[in-house]
């Protein structure tokens, strides 16, 4: 079996590889979409958490079921689903992330066969009452998973699962540290591969893979070359390396991100003291900074912006990124609405910004490339 980065690449290219093997051995595979379903519950129920992603393959079947004027990432996921690419997935947990994901659940449930469907309501607000409501939602999810997996998710099992996923996050943060050097020891596209791969296998196997990768990266001398620019990429779901590679080939290193398959997933650990379900609720609703979760403004406008976007500015500073690209998927409304604020906020912090809107598969790759090149030229002249 391949190891380390090679293993990640293999799993990235064939995402169902390990999950199908495990299914053949009698394990249940529980699919989920987006960052919001607590995968710790899946692990604690002794099932394999498997993240549903899209594909760069042209959408051919989804058009008959879903509108073209909605999030192309979700459409692509559905296209994969309707083409039976997820036939090894026993069930799915579908969170109320945004309008696109919320409404697609109904269509998915009707047309993509699984043995278990679960709609998880995630509040948009993050008030004390929202955390309480979400805790109730997670309790109900836990019961449903117990029934489906025919096992009890004891408090101890759940804490163990939280621990093992925390290790996962910790290892990803360690790996991320290698991006601070110039040139970074691991490229942005490799990092995306690792992220995608890590969502297709059980957490313990993932930890093993990440340890191998860390060892490999630490000692490597075939890492990325030094380039004129160090960039941060901000956006939602990037589950393909195409865009990041394009940036890297245009003369920049992508050294840090604020993405769903990126730091948004692994930046913060889940506490293990206290009620584990409540801790999950606090983490998924409180720690994941995605524009779909509303953060109430307190204080001045500047305080509000610091609260919403300060972490992006800090990432750029800590990783010595001199510019940022906002990669916004068209029709992803919550990101579309935040984009002007993110752009202005970062620019006011001295970080140059390129704001791109794309259709997820870069149909207009030439146009995007030209804009990236022009941007890199501008920032290298500063």
Partner 1 sequence: MYRGEGKFKTSARHWTETTKKVRGMLKDQYAGAHTTDKPVVWSMLAMINELYMAMDVYPLYPENYAGLCATKRVADPFLERAQADGFSDVCCTYAQTGLGYAAMCQDIGQIPDFAPDGGMAKPMMLVGSSLVCDTRFKWFQSFARYLDVPYYAFDMPIPRSMRPDTAMGYLNYTVEQMRGLVEFMERVLGKKMNWDKLDEIVTRTQKTYECWYEAFITSASAIPCPMPAEDTLTNFAPAFFMTGSEEALNFYQELLEEVKGKIERKEGVVPEEKYRLIWGSGLPPWHTMNVFNSVEERGAVFVYQCAYQPFAPMEIPGITDPLMRMLLGRGLPASRRLAREMPTEEFSLVDMSSPAFFIEPFKADGIVISMLRSCRGTSIGQTYLKRKIQEQAKVPVLILETDICDVHAHSEANVAARFDAFFETLESRKKAGAS
Rounded CA separation 124/220 (Å): 43
State yes or no: residue 171 binds ligand SF4 (CB under 6 A). Answer: no
CB 302 within 8 A of CB 340: no
- Please identify the residue of the shown chain whose CB is closest to the bound ligand SF4: 332
Binding segment (CB under 8 A) for partner 1, from list 145-153, 227-235, 251-259, 289-297: 289-297
Of 127-156, binders to partner 1 (CB under 8 A) are: 127, 129-130, 132-133, 136, 140
Rule CB under 6 A: choose which of 171, 194, 197, 236 binds ligand SF4.
Answer: 236
331 forms part of the interface with partner 1 (CB under 8 A): yes
Site pattern 264..303 for ligand SF4 (x: CB under 6 A): ----------------------------x-----------
By CB under 6 A, tell whether 252 contacts ligand SF4. no
First and final C-alpha spacing in the chain:
47
* 334 sits near partner 1 (criterion: CB under 8 A): yes
Asked if 76 touches partner 1 (CB under 8 A), the answer is no
One character per residue 70-109, x = contact with ligand SF4 (rule: CB under 6 A): -x-xx----------------------xx-xx--------
Determine contact, residues 112/70, Cβ cutoff 8 Å: no
Q: Which does 25 bind (CB under 5 to 8 A by kind): ligand SF4, partner 1, none?
A: none
Q: According to CB under 8 A, which one of 343, 349, 360, 375 is a site residue for partner 1?
A: 343
Q: Which is nearer to ligand SF4, 178 or 335 (CB)?
A: 335
Rg of the chain over CA atoms, in angstroms? 20
Q: Which of 61, 205, 304, 369 binds partner 1 (CB under 8 A)?
A: 304
Distance CA 277, CA 363 (A): 42
Task: Give which of ligand SF4, partner 1, none residue 267 binds (C-beta under 5 to 8 Å, depending on kind).
Answer: none
Among residues 64, 50, 57, 40, the alpha carbon closest in space to that of 17 is found at: 50
Question: Least Å distance between CB 126 and ligand SF4?
Answer: 16
* 88-125 residues labelled b (16+ CB within 10 A) or e (exposed): bbbbbbbbbbbbbbbebbebbeeebebebbbebebbee
Q: Which of 123, 184, 188, 224 binds partner 1 (CB under 8 A)?
A: 123
- Per rule CB under 6 A, count of chain residues that contact ligand SF4: 15
Regarding 51 and contact with ligand SF4 (CB under 6 A), the answer is no
Binding mask 122-161 for ligand SF4 (x = CB under 6 A): ----------------------------------------
Q: Does 237 bind ligand SF4 (CB under 6 A)?
A: yes
Q: Per-residue x/- marks for partner 1, 12-41, CB under 8 A?
A: ------------------------------
Chain residues binding ligand SF4 by CB under 6 A are 34, 71, 73-74, 97-98, 100-101, 236-237, 292, 329, 332, 334-335
Chain residues binding partner 1 by CB under 8 A are 63-67, 69-71, 96, 98-100, 102-104, 106-107, 109-110, 119, 121, 123-125, 127, 129-130, 132-133, 136, 140, 291-292, 294, 296-297, 301, 304, 328, 330-331, 333-334, 336-341, 343, 355, 357
């Amino acid at each position: 079996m391949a190891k380390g980065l090679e293993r990640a690449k293999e799993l990235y290219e064939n995402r169902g590889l390990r999950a199908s093997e495990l299914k053949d051995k009698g394990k249940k595979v529980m699919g989920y979409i987006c960052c919001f379903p607590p995968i710790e519950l899946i692990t604690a129920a002794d099932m394999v958490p498997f993240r549903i992603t899209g594909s760069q393959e042209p959408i051919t079947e989804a058009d008959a079921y879903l509108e073209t004027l909605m999030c192309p990432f979700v459409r692509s996921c559905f296209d994969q689903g309707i083409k039976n690419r997820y036939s090894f997935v026993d069930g799915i947990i579908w969170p109320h992330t945004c309008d696109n994901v919320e409404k697609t659940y109904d269509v998915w449930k009707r047309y993509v066969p699984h043995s278990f469907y679960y709609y998880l309501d995630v509040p948009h607000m993050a008030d004390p009452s929202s955390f309480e409501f979400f805790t109730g939602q997670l309790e109900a999810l836990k019961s449903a998973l117990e029934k489906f997996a025919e096992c009890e998710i004891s408090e101890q099992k759940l804490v163990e699962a939280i621990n093992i996923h925390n290790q996962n996050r910790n290892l990803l943060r360690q790996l991320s540290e290698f991006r601070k050097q110039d040139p970074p020891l691991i490229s942005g596209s490799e990092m995306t591969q690792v992220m995608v791969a890590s969502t297709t296998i059980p957490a313990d196997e993932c930890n093993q893979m990440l340890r191998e990768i860390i060892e490999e990266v630490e000692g490597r001398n075939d890492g990325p070359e030094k380039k004129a620019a160090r960039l941060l990429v901000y956006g939602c779901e990037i589950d393909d390396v195409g865009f990041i590679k394009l940036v890297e080939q245009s003369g920049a290193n992508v050294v840090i991100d604020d993405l769903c398959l990126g730091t948004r997933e692994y930046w913060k650990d889940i506490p293990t003291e206290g009620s584990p379900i409540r801790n999950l609720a606090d983490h998924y609703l409180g720690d994941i900074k995605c524009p779909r979760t509303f953060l109430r403004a307190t204080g001045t406008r500047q305080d509000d912006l610091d609260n919403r976007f300060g972490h992006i500015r800090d990432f750029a500073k800590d990783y010595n990124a001199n510019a940022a690209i906002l990669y916004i998927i068209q029709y992803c409304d919550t990101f579309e609405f935040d984009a002007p604020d993110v752009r202005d906020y970062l620019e006011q912090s001295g970080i140059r910004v390129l704001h791109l809107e794309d259709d997820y598969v870069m149909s207009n790759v030439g146009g995007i490339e030209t804009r990236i090149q022009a941007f890199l030229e501008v920032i290298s002249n500063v």
